[in-house]
């Protein structure tokens, strides 16, 4: 018998809650496939009973059915209606006189709905359905013979038998298979698009950051370039068509080669309109939490004519936004370059001495804002194209004189290295801003990709190799006035269809490495008040360069930057007096709570939960070692007598657990309760999930039951509530964790299979001895980039039950 839930196959989308799914179409399907271990139990079975427990959460369950593959493929299967057995329960008996049971497709409803699937049980039927033929003796002999063959040979025999039974249909399936094989490159691209459509996500997908990162003293300022072209305005209507915005380009992009990540679709901010105040406020909050200190708006001035000014003016005027800002004059002609026509000028620049003064007069109102970025006390201004100014030195001198006349004071004027410009000193600029991908042209891989568009005329570069080269350059740099610039990715296919420049294989991890090197470079070279790093960009969606969340990576680029900023902050909590004093706390009880608290705003919640347990359990608390002293003081006051162990912010709650477990072992504790704060900001029910997990684990009644269970059974190694039990074969559990669990299995010496169970959320009671294999382990946890799955911490979560059983202990789900 098998009781695994089937996996989404077609038009089925997990909602994020265990066992709950959304059927998007009337022919939505889920697939159940027998594992190799399960197959022998069904080999001599002519009839199987399928029992399904399913209920509608939104909509209704209409005409649920299954298709059964008896070894001939699903193409030959006939739908079988499920019969209602009781409330939310259905059953059907399927029979055959052909091959062995292979797989079953569940069609949950003939109408779209949201449903909860709590059971899918497949078992041999006690008796065949009335009138059904029993498995004949020749068929039994054939199955026995097939079991002795290799899988490949057995498939070959089945193909021959199927051809003899139905040659016409077999040839049709063969032709379809060949067509699919020839179309594999397209199918790969389609599959990615389909995965995005059904809300699947990359293994690098990250949740949003909820607080700004900790900062070092005199930490560099991070400025992200900001494009304000996400709203319609008359000139764009005239030039490009009614309603045109940057999203018009973004949404129409298509992949040009296998593995090309296009189109790039926005995440939770959606296809926003910058005329909406809430969008600007949300962007400012996200940016601050990502470690961005200011937006650097592209400023469009054409001889007194302004374009795209509305979002900037709204941002400056909004009292609810506290994020600083600066300006970069985009002093180019506005042309039809996106269409490949450089000569068709839509709006021209007319540089002149009079225009220089008029421009600064207009800029003065922004520089007067208390939120305007200053460097060494001077307002910051950036010029995008210094090479096209008739006399850059003269322009700068006019600006500096006028700024003094207007009472602004001295200016700090930078230019970018766009289009190869480097002579910033000769032109009178205070420094040069790197503006990648400008000045990056090596590591081209155009000829190595498998093209989908044979007429593709653009260029493709290897992002990973580019990052390696930029890190080397930053480490060798000696000029403090060249300000590092980084880009999370780059791909302007949306703007230049079929002829864009693409930096392929961009990952959040490599962007994190680049940002880390940039921050270190400016910290090493520049005075504290002149340390700057620039990001291209916050929202250049048409160029594939953005920190905003998208549907495939989520908040991963923003989290990568946040981690790079946070890593520069010192670990001051390690030497906090309360931490040092807590090391001497005596062991009072045999059992101990190992609690990791990441979110400081949950300190009071933690103290309340622990208060009812202090007469039975000691407490060891781990927390980020970059917490400020006031927060550590608050924790020490809230949970007096606890051992306080600051840890690096890596491995979520799992690496801190390993540290706390060693502390518990050293103090002589034998039983522990592992728990942690949990917000899961990528889930709408994150707080409710935390409460369910903690209430099922740390109430006084649950603690008494757990301690009694461990006292009564010396072989009990792990205990958790049944509601937290998940298995490897459940949808999504191993999607991004297969390699991680396999590596841990080899390293720690445990076995696992489809039915291996683990406590979801990594909260459970345990016996210290059952986790002995983890003692002294040096596991390499990744930098904390906010990923929601696929990390070493997630692999260890899934391995907890297997580790306990490999040590000879039992796992219980009766708490």
Q: Mean pLDDT across the stretch 156-171? A: 64
Q: Which helix (H) or strand (E) holds 707?
A: helix 700-712
DSSP H/E element including 743: helix 738-748
Structure tokens at 595: 């609690």
| Higher per-residue pLDDT: 142 or 553 | 553
Dihedral in degrees, nearest 10, Cα atoms 585, 586, 588, 590: 100
Residue 776 has a pLDDT of 82
Residue 1 is predicted with a pLDDT of 54
| pLDDT, position 180 | 47
Q: Which residues of 100-133 are buried (b: 16+ CB within 10 A; e: fewer)?
A: bbbbbbbbbbbeebbbbbeebebeebeebeeebe
pLDDT tens digit string along 707-764?
999 999 999 999 999 989 999 999 899 999 999 999 999 999 999 999 999 999 999 9
Partnered with residue 800 across adjacent β-strands are none
pTM of the model: 0.77
Secondary structure of 343-401 in the HEC alphabet?
A: EEEEECCCCCHHHHHHHHHHHHHHHCCCCECEECCEEEEEECCHHHCCCHHHHHHHHHH
Residue 298 main-chain phi, psi, to 5 deg: -70, 130
DSSP string across 234-262: HHHHHHH-TT--HHHHHHH----BTT---
| Residue 341 scores a pLDDT above 60 | no
d(CA 339, CA 570): 49
- Pairwise CA distance, residues 144 & 125, whole Å: 20
Q: What CA–CA distance (Å, rounded) separates 102 from 349?
A: 69
**Where would I find the H helices in 507-602?**
508-525, 556-566, 577-582
Q: Tell me the HSE value of 435 on the side-chain side, using a 13 A CA sphere.
A: 25
Query: How is the beta sheet containing 490-491 ordered, strand by strand?
Result: 459-462, 501-504, 490-491
Check: CB of residue 108 under 8 Å from CB of residue 64.
yes
| Distance, CA of 266 to CA of 637 (rounded, Å) | 43
The mean predicted confidence, pLDDT, of the chain is: 89
Please give the structure tokens belonging to residue 248. 């018009």
Q: Which helix (H) or strand (E) holds 623?
A: strand 617-624
- DSSP for 264-330 reads --B-TT-S--TTSHHHHHHHHHHHHHTT--EEEEEEEEETTEEESHHHHHHHHH-TT----EEEEE-
Neighbours of 476 (CB within 10 A): 8
Which of 32-46, 250-264, 285-299, 481-495 is predicted with the least confidence, judged by mean pLDDT?
32-46
Residue in this structure with the two tokens 């026509």, named with its chain if needed: 341
CB atoms within 10 A of CB 791: 25
Token pair of 13, please? 């989308």
CA 802 vs CA 697, 771, 775: distances in Å: 20, 10, 16
Query: pLDDT tens digits, residue range 513-551?
Result: 999 999 999 999 999 999 999 999 999 999 999 999 999
646: confidence class by pLDDT, cuts 50, 70, 90: very high
Tokens of 364: 């003065």
Q: What are phi and psi of 760, to 5 degrees?
A: -60, 140
In this structure, what DSSP letter does residue 3 have?
-
Confidence of residue 126 (pLDDT cuts 50, 70, 90): low
Whose tokens are 């996106």? That residue is 338
For 329, the enclosing helix (H) or strand (E) is: strand 325-329
Residues contacting 106, CB < 8 A, separation 6+: 6, 29, 30, 31, 32, 52, 64, 65, 66, 120
Measured CA angle at 537 (ends 433, 396), to 5 deg: 35
- Helix 556-566 / helix 277-289 crossing angle, nearest 10 deg: 40
Nearest to 650 by CA among 626, 676, 624, 679: 624
For residues 343 and 382, the answer to whether their CB atoms sit within 8 Å is no
163 sits in which H/E element: helix 151-165
355: its two tokens: 């225009």
225, 328 Cβ separation under 8 angstroms: yes
Cα→Cα distances 355→332, 349, 399, 510, Å = 14, 10, 11, 42
Q: Are 316 and 322 in contact (CB under 8 A)?
A: no
In this structure, of 40-54, 234-248, 404-418, the range with the lowest mean pLDDT score is 40-54
The pLDDT value recorded for residue 28 is: 87
For tokens 């728990």, the residue is: 675
Q: Would you state the structure tokens that stand for residue 75, as one six-digit string?
A: 């193409």
Task: Examine the pLDDT at 340 and tell me if it is beyond 50.
Answer: no
* Residue appearing with tokens 């608390």: 621
What average pLDDT does range 360-378 have in this prediction? 97
pLDDT over 90 percentage in the chain: 68
pLDDT of residue 614: 93
Give me the pLDDT at residue 166, please: 61
CB distance 487 to 536 below 8 Å: yes
End-to-end CA distance of the chain: 26
Please state the rounded mean pLDDT for residues 187-205: 86
What's the rounded mean pLDDT across residues 490-512?
95
- pLDDT, one tens digit per residue, over 442-480 is 788 998 888 999 899 999 999 999 999 999 999 999 999
CA atoms within 13 A of residue 651's CA, in its CB half-sphere:
22
Q: In what order do the strands lie in the sheet with 12-14?
A: 12-14, 20-23, 113-124, 47-58, 89-95, 83-86
> What DSSP designation does 705 have?
H
Check residues 40 and 76 and name the one with the higher pLDDT. 40
More confident residue, 431 or 21: 431
Rounded-to-integer distance, Cα 511 and Cα 784, Å? 13
Kindly report, residue by residue over 658-694, the tens digit of the pLDDT. 999 999 999 999 999 999 987 766 666 667 777 888 8
pLDDT at 131: 45
């Amino acid at each position: 018998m098998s009781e695994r839930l089937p996996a989404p196959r077609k038009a089925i989308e997990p909602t994020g809650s265990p066992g709950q799914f959304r059927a998007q179409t009337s022919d939505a399907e889920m697939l159940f496939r027998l594992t190799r271990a399960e197959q022998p139990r069904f080999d001599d079975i002519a009839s199987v009973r399928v029992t399904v427990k399913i209920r509608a959460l939104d909509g209704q369950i209409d005409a649920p059915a299954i298709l059964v593959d008896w070894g001939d493929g699903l193409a030959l299967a006939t739908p079988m209606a499920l019969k209602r057995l009781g409330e939310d329960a259905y059953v059907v008996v399927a029979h055959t006189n052909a091959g062995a049971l292979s797989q079953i497709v569940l069609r949950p409803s003939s109408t779209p709905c949201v449903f909860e699937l709590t059971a899918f049980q497949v078992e041999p039927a006690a008796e065949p359905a009335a009138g059904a033929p029993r498995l004949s003796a020749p068929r039994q002999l054939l199955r026995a013979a097939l079991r002795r063959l290799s899988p490949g040979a057995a498939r070959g025999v089945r193909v021959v038998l199927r051809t003899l039974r139905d040659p016409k249909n077999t040839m049709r399936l063969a032709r379809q298979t060949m067509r699919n094989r020839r179309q594999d490159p397209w199918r790969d691209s389609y599959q990615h698009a389909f995965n995005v459509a059904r809300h699947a996500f990359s293994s690098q997908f990250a949740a949003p950051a909820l607080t700004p990162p900790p900062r070092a003293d005199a930490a560099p300022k991070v400025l992200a370039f900001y494009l304000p072209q996400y709203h319609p305005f008359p000139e764009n209507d005239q030039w490009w068509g009614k309603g045109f915005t940057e999203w018009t380009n973004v949404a129409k992009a298509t992949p040009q080669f296998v593995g090309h990540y296009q189109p790039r679709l926005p995440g939770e901010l959606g296809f926003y309109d910058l005329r909406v105040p809430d969008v600007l406020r949300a962007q400012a909050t996200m940016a601050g939490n990502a470690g961005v200190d200011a937006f650097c708006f592209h400023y469009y001035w054409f001889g007194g004519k302004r374009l795209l000014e509305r979002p900037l003016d709204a941002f400056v005027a909004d009292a609810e936004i506290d994020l600083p800002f600066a300006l970069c004059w985009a002093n180019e002609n506005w042309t039809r370059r996106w269409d490949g026509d450089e000569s068709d000028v839509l709006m021209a620049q007319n540089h002149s001495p009079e225009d220089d003064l008029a421009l600064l007069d207009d800029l003065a109102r922004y520089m007067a804002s208390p939120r305007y970025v200053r460097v060494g006390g001077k307002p910051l201004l950036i010029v995008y194209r210094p090479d096209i100014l008739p006399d850059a030195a003269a322009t700068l001198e006019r600006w500096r004189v006028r700024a003094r006349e207007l009472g602004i004071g001295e200016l700090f004027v930078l230019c970018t290295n766009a289009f190869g410009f480097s002579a910033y000193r000769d032109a009178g600029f205070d420094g040069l801003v790197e503006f990648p991908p400008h000045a990056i042209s090596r590591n081209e891989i155009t000829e190595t990709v498998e093209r989908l568009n044979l007429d593709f005329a653009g260029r493709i570069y290897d992002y990973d190799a580019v990052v390696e080269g930029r890190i080397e350059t930053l480490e060798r740099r000696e000029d403090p006035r060249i300000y590092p610039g980084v880009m999370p990715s780059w791909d302007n296919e949306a703007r230049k269809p079929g002829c864009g420049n693409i930096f392929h294989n961009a990952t959040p991890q490599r962007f994190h490495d680049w940002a880390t090197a940039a921050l270190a470079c400016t910290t090493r070279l520049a005075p504290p008040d002149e340390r700057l790093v620039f990001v291209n960009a916050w929202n250049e969606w048409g160029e594939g360069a953005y920190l905003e969340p998208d549907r495939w990576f989520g908040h991963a680029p923003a989290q990568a930057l946040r981690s790079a900023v946070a890593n520069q902050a010192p670990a001051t909590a390690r030497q906090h007096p309360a931490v040092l004093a807590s090391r001497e706390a005596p062991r009072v009880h045999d059992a101990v709570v190992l609690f990791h608290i990441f979110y400081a705003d949950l300190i009071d919640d933690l103290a309340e939960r622990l208060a009812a347990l202090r007469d039975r359990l000691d407490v060891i608390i781990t927390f980020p070692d970059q917490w400020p002293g006031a927060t550590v003081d608050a924790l020490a006051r809230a949970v007096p007598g606890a051992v306080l162990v600051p840890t690096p912010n890596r491995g979520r709650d799992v690496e801190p657990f390993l540290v706390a477990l060693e502390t518990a072992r050293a103090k002589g504790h034998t039983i522990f309760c592992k728990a942690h704060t949990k917000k899961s900001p990528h889930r709408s029910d994150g707080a409710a999930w935390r409460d369910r997990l903690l209430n099922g684990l740390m109430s006084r009644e649950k603690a008494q039951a757990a301690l009694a269970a461990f006292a009564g059974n010396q072989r009990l190694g792990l205990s958790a509530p049944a509601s937290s039990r998940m298995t490897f074969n459940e949808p999504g559990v191993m999607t991004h964790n297969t390699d991680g669990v396999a590596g841990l299995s080899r390293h720690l010496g445990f076995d696992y299979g489809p039915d291996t169970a683990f406590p979801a959320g990594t909260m459970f009671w345990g016996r210290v001895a059952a986790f002995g294999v983890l003692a002294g382990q040096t596991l390499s946890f990744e930098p904390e980039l906010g990923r929601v799955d696929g990390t070493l911490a997630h692999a260890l979560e899934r391995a907890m039950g297997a580790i306990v059983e490999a040590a000879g202990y039992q796992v219980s789900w009766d708490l």
